[in-house]
Structure 1
């Protein structure tokens, strides 16, 4: 059974508790606070975050951040999670069951503060706004450090670092904060090996015309309009790794809304469907996306659609997360199965 988030704490008290890095005073909490631990300072999206000790009441504002903390074995240091898009994978379910859900969707500032966090983690900077969890400045004012994934902060990162390397740096930074450096380093090492394996055949990948095979990533269909991967999203990097090319690489957005006519004009060699069926919105499931393509008079005539050169991957894995290397592996296998490895 899931634990329910604590409610009913006055906001002023929650702010005061957060500011002191404490929760409701229990013997267990006091004992935890007295454990010896190392201080740490990290950089996160243009800010220095300093810790006198590893956090004891971290809150993850999205599923990607939640699963990263669970992968690092930090469920006992978590005071909350929010904004679940799909079911938690089986390997995390027991650990996830220990973490209170403070909000089923995007958390508000009051919901966040009711958890009395001493650290907040998010994969996206846009979760830190006044009408959401509160700004990073507001949280800093009550001494609650707010972490943003390096993947979502390109202007602050070292030039030339790939999105996967930025993702791995998140693991290492969080490992430093929580005193879990060895586990974080092992995770980064394992996933670097998975990326290298996925790219092993990239030099031998060609389409029929001798160029790179092009791919459209169909993430969602909303009100009849397709949302696809643009240049700044992770799929462009995934394409590069396996030797393909994102057909919408010229659009400087993560998931731009386009038209079916634009999809047809790109005439991709194959199509990747992000299955978000568990999210439950219209147009999210892989079946609905296949139906939408088959129903469009132009897209339905594309060779990729007629010959079913379509692969399905979990949609959440197309956004940066600890699970993204799995989608990358599926993409590499599909490129080989579709005959593009010469």
Structure 2
């Protein structure tokens, strides 16, 4: 089976990696260096589709279930995406399925030994950072030393991220691995059909993952992020889009000048509840002059839908599009 690249960039180093696992073919797609995240593994190829898979998160598990291969999942190393499917309009049945998956580490992501002990042929997730960058997680080389291959979603952050190509590519890659390309294409079409029908309004949008504090710059997401794509697909304009990387900062005065008409609070990275974060942002003295605060357009979106590729990006975009559409 021909391999596909797991991510793309203008420049990259080629390395076929290990093929030690039983069932792996001798050739694989080239590995592509990635601008901000750790190097993305090449998409592995198998003589026969993997029978045992561990997902690094339940966002990846959701894709496998929708591709009809959820029965191959022997465990998940993180359930932090599960709750977001509880109220999903597009995937109403996924929550119970994801909640019932064996959790290899209920304490967090320090699960290297448990992932390897499960003896999967494939470990997959929606973030390259889950391969060794989070404390206690297995790196790609550690997996390979145990005859296991990794595959992750990989946004190309070498330029502005303005669509959900990373999600599409990840789904296509899994479709190739499990020899279900038609199901992968059908799932991608379903996601595309659910995108909000918006133009490019130019409505300025500020994305926050924490409440701004006095005396500090206001940090937001740059152009090279999934958040930028979600805002763009929603018809808005990320006020951080002129910054090429993943993060950028503005003074309170600069934010006031850019005057975001919608503020999106990416919840889940703070101990505060979504309502508490919205209230805190709305009450922040640094944001009182913005159109978003003055007109009550501060909305909460889970960071798991906003900041990473996945099936729920389109639902996040739809919620933001509703707020953008209110701007006259």
Normalising TM by the smaller chain, what interval? 0.7 to 0.9
Q: Which has the higher helix share?
A: 1
Q: Which range moved further: 47-56 or 256-265? A: 256-265
Superposed, 1:241-280 pairs within 5 Å as 241-254=233-246, 263-276=255-268
Q: Match for residue 7 of structure 2?
A: none
Question: Secondary structure, in 3 states, of the residue corresponding to 2:194?
Answer: helix
**1:20 shift after superposition:** 5.8
**Cα separation, partners in 2 of 1:102 and 1:260, compared to 1, 3 Å:** farther
Q: Match for residue 95 of structure 1?
A: 97
In the aligned structure 1, how far is the partner of 2:136 from the partner of 2:274? 30
Q: Deviations over 1:261-311 (max 9, x none)?
A: 6644532122122343xx7x423x222222322443232233321221223
**Cα separation, partners in 2 of 1:289 and 1:253, compared to 1, 3 Å:** farther
Q: Does 1:329 align with 2:318?
A: yes
Q: Which range moved further: 260-269 or 113-122? A: 260-269
Q: Which range moved further: 241-250 or 43-52? A: 43-52
Q: Does 1:61 align with 2:63?
A: no
**Cα separation, partners in 2 of 1:73 and 1:254, compared to 1, 3 Å:** farther
Larger radius of gyration between Structure 1 and Structure 2: 1
**Cα separation, partners in 2 of 1:242 and 1:118, compared to 1, 3 Å:** same
Which of 254, 269, 294 is the equivalent residue of 1:306? 294
In the aligned structure 1, how far is the partner of 2:224 from the partner of 2:188? 22
Superposed, 1:38-77 pairs within 5 Å as 45=40, 47-77=42-72
Contact 2:161 2:225 in 1 (8 A): no
Question: Secondary structure, in 3 states, of the residue corresponding to 2:97?
Answer: helix
Contact 1:230 1:255 in 2 (8 A): yes
Superposed, 1:1-342 pairs within 5 Å as 45=40, 47-86=42-81, 87=83, 89-90=85-86, 91-104=93-106, 105-129=108-132, 131-151=135-155, 153-154=156-157, 163-195=163-195, 198=196, 200-203=197-200, 205=201, 212-221=202-211, 228-254=220-246, 263-276=255-268, 281-283=270-272, 285-319=273-307, 320-339=309-328
Contact 1:229 1:236 in 2 (8 A): yes
Q: Match for residue 13 of structure 1?
A: none
Q: Which range moved further: 177-186 or 43-52? A: 43-52
Q: Give the RMSD, CA atoms, in angstroms.
A: 3.3
In the aligned structure 2, how far is the partner of 1:236 from the partner of 1:247? 9
In the aligned structure 2, how far is the partner of 1:291 from the partner of 1:215? 18
**1:134 shift after superposition:** 2.0
**1:98 shift after superposition:** 4.4
**Cα separation, partners in 2 of 1:257 and 1:267, compared to 1, 3 Å:** same
Which ranges in structure 2 are unaligned for 5 or more consecutive residues?
Answer: 1-19, 32-39, 87-92
**Cα separation, partners in 2 of 1:248 and 1:60, compared to 1, 3 Å:** same
In the aligned structure 2, how far is the partner of 1:46 from the partner of 1:144? 12
Q: Deviations over 1:26-45 (max 9, x none)?
A: xxxxxxx9xxxx99955663
Q: Deviations over 1:152-191 (max 9, x none)?
A: x546xxx898541221111111012112222211011111
In the aligned structure 2, how far is the partner of 1:150 from the partner of 1:141? 22
**Cα separation, partners in 2 of 1:256 and 1:101, compared to 1, 3 Å:** farther
In the aligned structure 1, how far is the partner of 2:68 from the partner of 2:97? 8
TM-score, with length taken from structure 2 = 0.75
**1:141 shift after superposition:** 2.7
